[in-house]
Amino acid sequence: MTSISNKRIGSNKKNRDEKLEPEVILDFEYDDNGILYIIIENIGPVPAYKISIKFDKEITGIEGDRKISSMKIFDRIEFLPPHKRIRIFLDAFVSYVLRKQPLIIGATIIYSNRDNKEFRDVINHDLSIYQDFPQILK
């Protein structure tokens, strides 16, 4: 289950140009091998600038060896073109759960458009939805 709340810091006035705004999301992807990835993507039609992402909880991945939520990429991405997708390896889902990592995760994404209009989106994820998926060990 994922929930998104959008709070536009700039004008909330709806106009015909609103569709020409960036929209940066953070998502989690579970692949066929039971691997969990973090996805950062600009699903909007125009570039996003000065992207930063803050998690509400610390996330440790790669079998507990790396503080994923502290990685530099979440501090600042200067430019993200339209439809650009960045995929970051998090962990095998089984390992993630066995290490008692958070399953409910909130992420605040702050970014700007070309005119420095700032946007702030909060996306909440519930990774427990993947717990019933079969694990394929290779």
Is 102 in contact with 57 (CB distance < 8 Å)? yes
Structural domain containing residue 104: 2-9+22-129
Residue 76 lies in a domain: yes
pLDDT at 13: 45
CA distance 50 to 111: 5
11 has a pLDDT exceeding 70: no
- What pLDDT score does 66 carry? 85
**What is the percentage of the chain residues whose pLDDT exceeds 90?**
75
- Is 136 inside a domain boundary? no
* Domain presence at residue 135: no
**Per-residue pLDDT, 133:** 80
Total tally of structural domains belonging to the chain: 1
Helix residue ranges, H only, 1-138:
93-98
CA distance 112 to 75: 14
Per the domain annotation, does 63 fall within a domain?
Answer: yes
| Cα 78 to Cα 100, 102, 125, distances in angstroms | 33, 28, 25
The answer to whether residue 67 is domain-embedded is: yes
Cβ atoms of 74 and 24 within 8 Å: the answer is no
pLDDT digits (tens, 9 = 90+) for 102-114: 999 999 999 999 9
Section 113-119 average pLDDT: 97
Percent of all residues in the chain with a pLDDT value above 70, rounded to a whole number: 83
Tell me the residue type at 122.
Answer: V
Tell me whether residue 73 is in a domain: yes
Residue 134 lies in a domain: no
pLDDT digits (tens, 9 = 90+) for 27-74: 999 998 999 999 999 999 999 999 999 999 999 998 778 899 999 999
106 within domain boundaries: yes
- CATH code, domain with 37: 2.60.40
